[in-house]
């Protein structure tokens, strides 16, 4: 009987999309910012504006995601829920271990009252 092993390779772009979806599923998240700055990438001359960053470390994944939260939410609770949801979704969909999910609060949703005519 031959022993066959299948290897799964998921592109960084797909992992980023999975992370975006998982993060925005969490109640209290208004969305992801249009332009989140990662100064380390600016220094390394990579793309400075990324809302999701994926790093592979020793066969596992570390994720950094920038989010905008809704006004009046408990930021810590929302960030922890995003960490948990992103980790669970990415691990279950890819089978790859996610060792860390960093959540950076990039903005707070700004409600502006609509003017009545």
Interval 9-28: pLDDT, tens: 788 899 999 999 999 999 99
Interval 73-85: pLDDT, tens: 999 999 999 999 9
Interval 87-112: pLDDT, tens: 999 999 999 999 999 999 999 987 66
Contact 51, 36 (CB under 8 A): yes
Contact 82, 104 (CB under 8 A): no
CATH for the stretch 12-108: 3.30.70.1350
Task: Spell out the domain ranges in the chain.
Answer: 12-108
Interval 25-38: pLDDT, tens: 999 999 998 765 55
For 64, phi then psi, to 5°, come to: -120, 130
CA dihedral 7, 10, 11, 17 (to 10 degrees): 180
Q: What is the pTM of this model?
A: 0.78
Distances in whole angstroms, Cα of residue 55 to Cα of each of 2, 27, 108: 34, 26, 26
Q: Could you identify the residue written with the tokens 């990039």? A: 106
């Amino acid at each position: 009987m031959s022993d066959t092993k299948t290897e799964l390779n998921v592109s960084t772009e797909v992992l980023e999309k999975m992370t975006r979806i998982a993060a925005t599923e969490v109640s209290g998240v208004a969305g992801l910012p249009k332009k989140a700055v990662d100064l380390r990438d600016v220094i390394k001359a990579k793309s400075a504006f990324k809302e999701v960053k994926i790093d592979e470390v020793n066969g596992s994944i570390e994720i950094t995601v920038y989010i905008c939260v809704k006004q009046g939410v408990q930021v810590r609770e929302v960030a922890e829920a995003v960490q948990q949801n992103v980790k669970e979704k990415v691990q279950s969909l890819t089978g790859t271990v996610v060792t860390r999910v960093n959540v950076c609060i990039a903005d707070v949703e700004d409600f502006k009252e609509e003017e009545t005519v």
